[in-house]
Amino acid sequence: MNRNRISPATADAITRAAEKLRAGQLVGMPTETVYGLAADATNGEAIARIYEAKNRPRFNPLIAHVSDLEMARQLVVFTPEAERLATAFWPGPLTLVLPRRPDCPVSELASAGLDTLAVRCPGHAVARSLIAATGRPLVAPSANPSGAISPTTAQHVADGLGNRVDIILDGGACSVGLESTVIGFDGETPLLLRKGGIGRQEIEAVAGRLGSPAPDAPKASPGMLASHYAPAASLRINAKSPRSGEVYLGFGPDWPADLNLSPTGRLDEAAANLFAYLRRLDASGARAIAVAPIPDKGLGEAINDRLRRAAAPRDLS
């Protein structure tokens, strides 16, 4: 079933896949870690479709995959430490979490609202060719339905998500088969955020001793990341109308809003706009933001999850 969506990763198939990515569609992409469900990282609606396809109930930050260090430099600010790690381990299963550049073209949905972006140059030549052919960074979380095991062959992707992608590039079985090691920074000190394909000792041989994220620094800790975008303004959810002193973030045609996540009531558009619009309202100096009800189905579940966290009392965040 769905075998026809699997295509050997020939130059011609890579060109076709790149065209689909530029048009906002999803592609099954081999990497050395696991098969990814790839989308154009600069296209928020395409990223929203990843969450929809995986049926993932929660937005967590995604990794922007780049074809080389030069592409990564256009997205994030490198420190000398980060440069040293990238030079030593790229292409390969090492992800670096760095501050977004002010002109970073990657959608804020990929950062789940954080000021940082995870970047990686994959070791698999097909992945790098696809990124280069697309000419844009690609986000690519594991290509499996949420809760299922990560796919390490093209057939696994077809079995789990075959009807969600037009093309799955077959680049053989993944050589690493484990997720990438994720390194963040506290100033110049590298921190081990997630264990993965490259071991601690190998990294420490290049970067010196790795720190662990402080338990009270939730932004640095992957397990706790999900809680961590909250606006400075207070947030009230499921609000049918604004109260005095509130700015109103609408959804759908019915609400006269200061900003509207999707005037036509599309959840993928709302997901793509969510973090950017919360930031915009926050930056406007508003003290209180009220958000219209969002249907709690499909992508709406992940949107509501994030809104509930942002609305929760600050001692939880």
Q: Summarize as ranges the residues that interact with ligand AMP (CB under 6 A).
A: 60-63, 97, 111, 114, 116-118, 141, 179-180, 182, 184, 193-194, 222, 225
Q: Which is nearer to ligand AMP, 97 or 154 (CB)?
A: 97
Largest CA distance in the chain: 60
CB of 31 to ligand AMP, least distance (A): 9
Residue 247 interacts with, from ligand AMP, Mg ion, none (CB under 5-8 Å by kind): none
Residue nearest ligand AMP by beta-carbon distance: 222
CB of 217 to ligand AMP, least distance (A): 11
Residue 193 interacts with, from Mg ion, ligand AMP, none (CB under 5-8 Å by kind): ligand AMP
Query: Distance between CA atoms of 128 and 67, rounded to whole angstroms?
Result: 5
Q: Which is nearer to ligand AMP, 43 or 142 (CB)?
A: 142
Q: Which is nearer to ligand AMP, 186 or 254 (CB)?
A: 186
Query: Distance between CA atoms of 243 and 51, rounded to whole angstroms?
Result: 32
Q: Which is nearer to ligand AMP, 34 or 286 (CB)?
A: 34
CB of 83 to Mg ion, least distance (A): 28
Residue 111 interacts with, from Mg ion, ligand AMP, none (CB under 5-8 Å by kind): ligand AMP
Answer yes or no whether residue 180 interacts with Mg ion by CB under 5 A: no
Residue 67 interacts with, from Mg ion, ligand AMP, none (CB under 5-8 Å by kind): none
CB of 179 to ligand AMP, least distance (A): 5
Q: Which is nearer to ligand AMP, 98 or 290 (CB)?
A: 98
CB of 142 to Mg ion, least distance (A): 3
CB of 115 to ligand AMP, least distance (A): 8
3 state SS for the chain:
CCHHHEEECCHHHHHHHHHHHHCCCCEEECCCCCCEEEEECCCHHHHHHHHHHHCCCCCCCCEEECCCHHHHHCCECCCHHHHHHHHHHCCCCEEEEEEECCCCCCCCCCCCCCCEEEEECCCCHHHHHHHHHHCCCEECCECCCCCCCCCCCHHHHHHHHCCCCCEEEECCCCCCCCCCEEEEEECCEEEEEECCCCCHHHHHHHHCCCECCCCCCHHHCHHHHHHCCCCCCEEECCCCCCCCCEEEEECCCCCCCCEECCCCCCHHHHHHHHHHHHHHHHHCCCCEEEECCCCCCCHHHHHHHHHHHHHCCHHHC
Residues 134 to 153 in contact with Mg ion, rule: CB under 5 A: 142, 150
Q: Which is nearer to ligand AMP, 13 or 271 (CB)?
A: 271
Residue 37 interacts with, from ligand AMP, Mg ion, none (CB under 5-8 Å by kind): none
CB of 184 to Mg ion, least distance (A): 19
Query: Distance between CA atoms of 110 and 107, rounded to whole angstroms?
Result: 6
Q: Which is nearer to Mg ion, 53 or 270 (CB)?
A: 53
Residue 144: which of 6, 35, 25 has the closest Cα? 35
Binding site for Mg ion (CB under 5 A): 142, 150
